[in-house]
C-alpha cells in the first residue's frame, strides 16, 4: 500500500462508518473490496492490519452501531471475510472477538437486518472468503454457522441460495482435503467432522419429503461433482446412490432437471465415466424414466461425450430423435420411409401424446431442434446421426408449418393443425437445416429440399425473421449444391434451382418491408462470396434482373438497406466490373446492365454525401476490400483512388468511417511496399534489380503524393481513440520501413532548418492529442506533409512509441488507482457535507 493510500484510508474508514452520511455507492465499495483482496492475497501476515488499525476500528465501529445500513454491513462482512482468509489475520480478528460478533449467533444473523438479502449475501460471501484454513472451518462448524448455511440454501434470493450451495461444496472439499490423513475408501470412510455434518445434511435432505430439500441437495451434489474430481467423491456417491435410484423409480420423477444436471456433471468426471456398470445403468434408467422434455437435455449432453458406453449413447440418441421420428412417421404412408429409429428401441407413445397436444407440441419440437442444432454445430460429433432421415423429418416439419403436407395418419392431421403457421418451429427447423448442410449423405434429397426452401422464399406468408433464416439455409445448401454439381456434373438441376432462387430474390428486393429488402441483399452478398467462382452461378445471376435491382437500392430511403446495397454492389463488382475477361461479364455488358464507372462514382457519392453512417461505413469497407483484392488497378490508379477517398473520409463525422479510411491506407501501404519489393512483405517476389534505396524513395514519394501523411498525422489527434491508435500503429510501421534502425533524432537538434522547426511544432501539436485544435495540413507551421524529406524527418524524430503508449493507456488509468478511489469516496463525502452546510 502506498503512503498516500495509508494516509487516506483512516479517513475513508471513518467516513464509511459514519451513519450520518449516506452510504457510498455500491461500485465504489466493490472496487474497495477488490483492492483489499489484492492486498490481502499479496501478504498473508497481519502486517496489513497492524499498519492500518483503522480497518479493525472500522469493523468495531460498524458493530457498535445500533442499526448500520445494510450495504455497509454487507461490505463489512465481506471485508472481514477477506481479511480472515489468512490464518494469521483470522486469529488476530478472533482475538478481537470480531468474527464471532460478525458471523456468530449474536451478530447480524439474529438482527432485523438479516431480512435484507444484501446482508445475507455479504454474510455468505464473507464466510466463503475466509474458508481457506481449518480454524475457519472449525469456527463455522462448531459455532453453529453451518446450520445457517444449510438454511440459506433455500433462501428466497436465488443469489444467496446459490452462494450458500457453492459455499457448502467448498467447505466439504476443504474439510475432506485438509483434514484427512489417509485416502478415503468405501471400506474405510472416516469423514472429518465438518464433512460429516455436510454429508449427513445431504443424506437427510435426499430422504426428506420436501421437494425443495431434495432439489437443494441435488444442486449441491451437482456443484460438487462438477468441481471436484477426487476419488473420495465416489465414496460419497455410493452412500446416496440408492436414494437417487429410488427417485427414478417413482411414477413422477421428482426434481428431474436437477437430477439430469447432476448426472450430466458426473458424466464428465473421470471418477464416474470410467465406471463399468452401475453409474451408466443409472443414466440409462434416467433416460427411460424421464419425460421426453426432461430427458432431452441429458440426452444431448451424453451425445457430446467422447467416452460413453455405446448402449447409453444409443438410448440418448433414441430420446433425442424420437420426436423427429414421430413426425416422419405421422406424415408418411406406412413403410414409406424407414424412419429415424429402430422401432424395437423406441416407445413413441409418450412422444406422440406430447406432439398431439397444442400446449406441448411446439415446445417439444423447438427443444429437440435446438439440441440437434447444438450437436450439429460441433466440429467433431462423437456420434453419427442418420442425416438423410433427419433431413426428411426437417422438411416434413417445415411442410407441416406451411400447410403443404397432406398427412395420412390421424396423428399427422393433428400435428398439421397445430403447426400451421408456427413461426417458432419454422425458425428452429431452418436453423437445423442450415447446420445440416455441412454433413454428408443427404444429396439424394437435395431437389426436394429446394422445393421446400423455395416455397418458403416465395410465400407471402413467410414472416421477415423466418425469411431471413430461409435465406441462410438456402445459401448454405446452394453452396453444397455447387459442390455436388462439380462432382457429378448435374449442372441442369443447379441452373434451374439458381434461376428459381434469383426469380424470387428479384421479388424480395422489391418488398415494401425494409427488413426483407435488407436480408435479401445480405443473402445476395453471401451467395456471391461463396459462389462467385462458379460460371453457372455467375451466368444465372447476371442473366437475372437482380444486379440492376440491387444497384437501384443504393437509393433506398432506409439507411440499413442502402448499406447492404453498397456491400452487395461491391461484391457484384467482383464478377462484373473487375472481371471483364469473363465471358459472363461480357454477356452482361451486352445486356446493358453492366456496372460502369458510374457505380463507383455512385459509391463515392454515398461516401461523401449520405447523411447516415451505415452506408458510408459500408462504402469504405468495400473500397478496402477492392483494394485488398487488387481490383482498383482497373478502376484507376490506386494512388489517386486512395488519395481521393481519404480526403473524403478525413472530414467524416463518424469515427468508424475514419477508422475504415485508415484501414484502406494500411492496405495501400502494404501493397505498395510489396509491389516495390521492400522487406516489409516477406512473401513478395523481390526483383534482383531492386535496390533498397530506390523503392524506398519511390514508395515514400507515392505516400506523400497520396496525402497519406497528412491524414495519418491528423488522425493521431483524432478525438476518437481507436482512430488515433490505428494511425499511430500505421506510422510506427512506416517508420520501421523507412527507419529500420531506431534512430530518434532530437527535433531541436535536427537543425534549425525550416523543416526542423515544423517537426518541432508537429511534435508539440501531437503531444496535445485530441485537444489539438485546427490541425493545419496545408503547409502552415512549416510542415509540408507532401515533402518526402520532411516526412522522413518527422518519422525519425517524433517519439511515436511514447504516443503509442500514451494512447494505449485506458482512459481511466488515472481514476483506476486505489488512491483515486479513496479520494473519490472522500470527495463524495465532502460534497455531501458541503451540501448539508448549504442546507442549514
Q: Which range of residues in 166-174, 281-289, 513-521, 800-808 is near other proteins by CB under 8 A?
A: 513-521
Binding other proteins (rule: CB under 8 A), the pick from 155, 215, 352, 556 is 556
d(CA 116, CA 118): 5
Question: Nearer Cβ to other proteins, position 460 or 749?
Answer: 460
Residue 64 in the binding site for other proteins (CB under 8 A): no
Return the number of other C-beta atoms located less than 10 Å from residue 133's C-beta.
Answer: 19
Question: Nearer Cβ to other proteins, position 162 or 404?
Answer: 404
Residue span 345-384 as binding mask against other proteins, x where in contact by CB under 8 A, dash where not:
----------------------------------------
d(CA 415, CA 433): 20
Residue whose C-alpha is closest to residue 128's, from 175, 83, 170, 75: 170
Q: Which range of residues in 249-257, 460-468, 667-675, 704-712 is near other proteins by CB under 8 A?
A: 460-468
Q: Which range of residues in 41-49, 458-466, 707-715, 811-819 is near other proteins by CB under 8 A?
A: 458-466
Question: Nearer Cβ to other proteins, position 552 or 691?
Answer: 552
Find the shortest distance in angstroms from Cβ 234 to other proteins.
Answer: 55
Find the shortest distance in angstroms from Cβ 547 to other proteins.
Answer: 12
Q: What is the DSSP letter of 229?
A: -
Residue 506 in the binding site for other proteins (CB under 8 A): yes
DSSP secondary structure string for all residues of 753-797: SHHHHHHHHHHHHHHTGGG--S---SSGGG--TT-HHHHHHHHHH
Question: Nearer Cβ to other proteins, position 108 or 615?
Answer: 615
Q: How many residues does the structure list for the chain?
A: 840
- Report yes or no: 699 and 747 within 8 Å, Cβ to Cβ: no
Residues 557-576 that bind other proteins (CB under 8 A): 557-558
Contacts of 452 (CB under 8 A, 6+ apart): 395, 398, 399
Per DSSP, the three-state class of 815 is coil
Residues 384-403 that bind other proteins (CB under 8 A): 403
Cell numbers representing residue 84 in the block: 480472515
Find the shortest distance in angstroms from Cβ 326 to other proteins.
Answer: 18
Residue 420 in the binding site for other proteins (CB under 8 A): yes
Class of residue 70 by CB neighbours under 10 A (exposed 0-12, middle 13-18, buried 19+):
buried
Find the shortest distance in angstroms from Cβ 420 to other proteins.
Answer: 5
Residue 492 in the binding site for other proteins (CB under 8 A): no
Residue whose C-alpha is closest to residue 178's, from 225, 222, 141, 217: 141
Residue 516 in the binding site for other proteins (CB under 8 A): yes
Residue whose C-alpha is closest to residue 484's, from 457, 456, 449: 449
Residue whose C-alpha is closest to residue 13's, from 55, 42, 44, 43: 55
Helices 597-609, 638-649: axis angle to 10 degrees equals 20
- In the block, which residue shows the cell 444442486? 219
Binding other proteins (rule: CB under 8 A), the pick from 41, 555, 802, 836 is 555
Binding other proteins (rule: CB under 8 A), the pick from 193, 231, 378, 510 is 510
Residue 424 in the binding site for other proteins (CB under 8 A): no
Question: Cα angle vertex 312, ends 311, 315, to 5°?
Answer: 90
Contacts of 727 (CB under 8 A, 6+ apart): 662, 712, 713, 715, 716, 718
Residue span 528-547 as binding mask against other proteins, x where in contact by CB under 8 A, dash where not:
-----------------x--
d(CA 575, CA 583): 10
Find the shortest distance in angstroms from Cβ 517 to other proteins.
Answer: 9
Residue 808 in the binding site for other proteins (CB under 8 A): no
Residue 549 in the binding site for other proteins (CB under 8 A): yes
- Report yes or no: 792 and 755 within 8 Å, Cβ to Cβ: no
Find the shortest distance in angstroms from Cβ 801 to other proteins.
Answer: 52
Residue 611 in the binding site for other proteins (CB under 8 A): no
C-alpha distances (whole Å) from 764 to each of 797, 800, 801 are: 12, 13, 15
Binding other proteins (rule: CB under 8 A), the pick from 166, 465, 511, 763 is 511
Binding other proteins (rule: CB under 8 A), the pick from 132, 133, 329, 508 is 508
Find the shortest distance in angstroms from Cβ 456 to other proteins.
Answer: 12
**C-alpha distance across the termini of the chain, in Å:** 39
Residue 507 in the binding site for other proteins (CB under 8 A): yes
Find the shortest distance in angstroms from Cβ 552 to other proteins.
Answer: 6
Binding other proteins (rule: CB under 8 A), the pick from 37, 196, 313, 548 is 548
Contacts of 230 (CB under 8 A, 6+ apart): 173, 176, 177, 271
Size of the site for other proteins (CB under 8 A): 29
Binding other proteins (rule: CB under 8 A), the pick from 66, 460, 611, 685 is 460
Residue 333 in the binding site for other proteins (CB under 8 A): no
Find the shortest distance in angstroms from Cβ 459 to other proteins.
Answer: 7
Find the shortest distance in angstroms from Cβ 36 to other proteins.
Answer: 60
Residue 552 in the binding site for other proteins (CB under 8 A): yes
Find the shortest distance in angstroms from Cβ 546 to other proteins.
Answer: 11
d(CA 559, CA 566): 10
Binding other proteins (rule: CB under 8 A), the pick from 513, 694, 780, 814 is 513
Question: Nearer Cβ to other proteins, position 37 or 548?
Answer: 548
Residue span 615-634 as binding mask against other proteins, x where in contact by CB under 8 A, dash where not:
--------------------
Residue 407 in the binding site for other proteins (CB under 8 A): yes
Binding other proteins (rule: CB under 8 A), the pick from 186, 246, 461, 629 is 461
Residue 406 in the binding site for other proteins (CB under 8 A): yes
Q: Which range of residues in 301-309, 342-350, 554-562, 639-647 is near other proteins by CB under 8 A?
A: 554-562
Q: What is the DSSP letter of 110?
A: G
Residue whose C-alpha is closest to residue 646's, from 602, 699, 608: 608
Q: Which range of residues in 178-186, 215-223, 500-508, 691-699 is near other proteins by CB under 8 A?
A: 500-508
Question: Nearer Cβ to other proteins, position 93 or 504?
Answer: 504
Question: Nearer Cβ to other proteins, position 101 or 517?
Answer: 517
Residue whose C-alpha is closest to residue 84's, from 72, 96, 67: 96
DSSP secondary structure string for all residues of 45-97: STHHHHH-HHHHHHHHHHHHSSS--HHHHHHHHHHHHHHTTSHHHHHHHHHTT
d(CA 803, CA 527): 43
DSSP secondary structure string for all residues of 39-55: HHHH--STHHHHH-HHH
d(CA 609, CA 601): 12
Question: Nearer Cβ to other proteins, position 170 or 562?
Answer: 562
Residues 201-230 that bind other proteins (CB under 8 A): none
Q: Which range of residues in 200-208, 281-289, 485-493, 509-517 is near other proteins by CB under 8 A?
A: 509-517
Question: Nearer Cβ to other proteins, position 28 or 509?
Answer: 509
Residue 512 in the binding site for other proteins (CB under 8 A): yes
d(CA 738, CA 85): 56
Find the shortest distance in angstroms from Cβ 513 to other proteins.
Answer: 6
Return the number of other C-beta atoms located less than 10 Å from residue 231's C-beta.
Answer: 11
Residues 113-152 that bind other proteins (CB under 8 A): none
- What are the contacts of 690-693 at 24+ separation with CB within 8 A? none
Contacts of 318 (CB under 8 A, 6+ apart): 341, 345, 346
d(CA 828, CA 840): 19
Residues 717-756 that bind other proteins (CB under 8 A): none
Chain residues binding other proteins by CB under 8 A are 403, 405-407, 413, 416-417, 420, 459-462, 506-508, 510-514, 516, 545, 548-549, 552, 555-558
Amino acid at each position: 500500500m502506498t503512503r498516500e493510500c495509508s494516509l487516506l484510508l483512516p479517513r475513508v474508514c471513518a467516513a464509511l462508518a459514519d451513519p450520518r452520511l449516506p452510504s457510498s455507492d455500491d461500485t465504489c465499495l466493490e472496487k474497495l473490496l477488490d483492492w483489499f483482496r489484492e492486498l490481502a492475497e499479496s501478504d498473508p501476515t497481519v502486517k496489513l492490519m497492524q499498519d492500518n488499525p483503522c480497518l479493525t476500528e472500522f469493523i468495531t465501529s460498524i458493530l457498535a452501531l445500533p442499526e448500520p445500513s445494510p450495504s455497509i454491513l454487507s461490505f463489512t462482512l465481506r471485508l472481514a471475510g477477506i481479511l480472515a482468509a489468512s490464518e494469521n489475520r483470522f486469529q488476530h480478528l478472533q482475538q478481537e472477538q470480531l468474527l464471532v460478533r460478525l458471523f456468530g449467533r449474536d451478530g447480524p444473523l439474529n438482527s432485523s437486518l438479516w431480512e435484507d438479502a444484501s446482508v445475507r449475501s455479504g454474510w455468505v460471501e464473507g464466510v466463503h472468503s475466509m474458508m481457506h484454513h481449518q480454524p475457519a472451518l472449525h469456527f463455522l462448524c462448531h459455532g453453529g454457522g453451518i446450520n445457517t448455511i444449510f438454511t440459506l440454501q433455500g433462501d428466497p434470493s436465488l443469489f444467496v441460495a446459490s452462494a450458500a450451495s457453492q459455499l457448502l461444496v467448498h467447505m466439504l472439499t476443504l474439510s475432506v482435503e485438509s483434514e484427512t490423513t489417509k485416502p478415503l475408501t468405501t471400506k474405510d470412510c472416516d469423514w472429518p467432522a465438518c464433512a460429516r455434518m455436510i454429508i449427513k445434511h445431504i443424506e437427510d435432505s435426499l430422504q426428506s419429503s420436501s421437494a425443495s430439500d431434495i432439489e437443494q441437495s441435488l444442486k449441491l451434489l451437482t456443484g460438487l461433482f462438477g468441481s471436484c474430481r477426487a476419488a473420495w467423491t465416489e465414496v460419497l456417491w455410493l452412500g446416496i446412490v440408492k436414494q437417487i435410484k429410488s427417485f427414478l423409480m417413482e411414477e413422477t420423477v421428482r426434481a428431474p432437471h436437477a437430477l439430469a444436471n447432476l448426472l450430466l456433471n458426473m458424466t464428465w468426471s473421470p471418477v464416474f465415466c470410467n465406471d463399468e456398470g452401475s453409474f451408466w445403468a443409472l443414466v440409462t434408467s434416467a433416460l427411460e424414466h424421464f419425460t421426453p422434455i426432461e430427458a432431452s437435455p441429458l440426452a444431448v449432453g451424453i451425445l457430446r461425450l467422447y467416452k460413453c458406453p455405446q448402449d447409453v449413447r444409443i438410448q440418448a440418441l433414441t430420446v433425442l430423435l424420437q420426436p423427429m421420428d414421430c413426425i416422419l412417421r405421422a406424415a408418411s404412408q406406412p413403410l414409406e420411409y424407414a424412419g429415424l429409429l429402430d422401432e424395437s428401441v423406441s416407445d413413441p407413445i409418450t412422444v406422440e401424446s406430447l406432439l398431439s397436444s397444442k400446449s406441448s407440441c411446439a415446445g417439444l419440437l423447438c427443444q429437440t431442434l435446438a439440441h440437434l442444432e447444438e450437436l450439429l454445430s460441433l466440429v467433431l460429433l462423437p456420434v453419427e446421426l442418420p442425416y438423410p432421415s433427419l433431413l426428411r423429418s426437417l422438411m416434413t416439419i417445415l411442410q407441416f408449418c406451411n400447410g403443404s403436407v397432406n398427412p395420412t395418419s390421424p396423428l399427422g392431421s393433428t400435428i398439421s393443425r397445430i403447426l400451421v403457421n408456427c413461426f417458432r418451429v419454422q425458425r428452429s427447423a431452418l436453423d437445423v437445416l442450415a447446420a445440416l448442410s455441412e454433413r454428408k449423405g443427404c444429396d439424394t434429397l437435395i431437389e426436394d429440399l429446394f422445393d421446400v426452401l423455395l416455397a418458403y422464399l416465395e410465400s407471402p406468408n413467410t414472416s421477415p425473421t423466418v425469411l431471413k433464416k430461409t435465406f441462410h439455409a438456402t445459401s448454405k445448401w446452394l453452396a453444397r449444391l455447387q459442390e455436388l454439381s462439380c462432382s457429378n456434373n448435374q449442372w441442369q438441376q443447379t441452373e434451374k434451382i439458381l434461376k428459381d432462387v434469383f426469380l424470387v430474390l428479384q421479388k424480395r428486393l422489391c418488398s415494401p418491408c425494409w427488413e426483407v429488402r435488407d436480408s435479401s441483399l445480405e443473402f445476395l452478398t453471401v451467395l456471391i462470396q461463396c459462389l462467385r467462382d462458379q460460371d453457372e452461378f455467375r451466368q444465372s445471376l447476371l442473366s437475372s434482373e437482380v444486379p440492376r435491382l440491387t444497384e437501384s437500392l443504393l437509393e433506398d430511403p432506409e439507411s440499413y438497406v442502402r448499406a447492404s446495397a453498397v456491400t452487395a454492389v461491391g461484391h457484384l463488382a467482383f464478377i462484373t466490373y473487375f472481371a471483364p475477361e469473363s465471358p459472363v461479364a461480357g454477356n452482361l455488358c451486352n445486356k446493358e446492365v453492366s456496372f460502369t464507372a458510374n457505380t463507383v462514382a455512385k459509391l463515392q457519392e454515398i461516401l461523401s454525401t449520405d447523411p447516415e453512417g451505415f452506408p458510408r461505413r459500408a462504402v469504405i469497407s468495400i473500397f478496402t476490400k477492392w483494394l485488398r483484392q487488387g481490383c482498383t488497378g482497373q478502376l484507376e490508379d490506386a494512388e489517386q483512388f486512395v488519395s481521393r477517398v481519404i480526403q473524403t473520409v478525413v472530414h467524416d463525422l463518424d469515427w468508424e468511417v475514419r477508422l475504415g479510411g485508415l484501414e484502406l491506407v494500411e492496405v495501400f501501404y502494404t501493397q505498395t511496399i510489396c509491389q516495390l519489393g521492400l522487406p516489409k512483405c516477406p512473401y513478395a517476389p523481390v526483383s534482383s534489380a531492386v535496390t533498397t534505396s530506390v523503392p524506398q524513395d519511390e514508395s515514400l514519394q507515392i505516400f506523400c503524393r497520396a496525402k497519406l501523411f497528412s491524414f495519418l498525422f491528423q488522425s493521431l489527434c483524432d478525438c476518437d481513440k481507436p482512430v488515433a491508435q490505428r494511425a499511430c500503429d500505421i506510422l510506427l510501421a512506416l517508420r520501421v520501413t523507412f527507419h529500420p534502425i531506431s534512430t530518434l533524432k532530437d527535433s531541436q537538434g535536427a537543425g534549425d532548418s525550416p523543416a526542423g522547426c515544423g517537426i518541432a511544432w508537429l511534435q508539440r501539436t501531437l503531444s496535445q492529442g485530441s485537444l489539438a485544435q485546427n490541425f493545419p495540413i496545408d503547409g502552415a507551421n512549416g510542415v509540408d506533409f507532401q515533402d518526402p524529406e520532411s516526412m522522413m524527418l518527422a518519422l525519425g524524430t517524433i517519439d511515436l512509441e511514447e504516443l503509442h503508449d500514451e494512447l494505449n493507456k485506458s482512459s481511466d488509468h488515472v481514476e483506476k488507482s486505489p488512491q483515486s478511489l479513496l479520494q473519490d469516496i472522500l470527495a463524495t463525502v465532502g460534497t455531501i457535507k458541503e451540501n448539508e452546510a448549504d442546507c442549514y
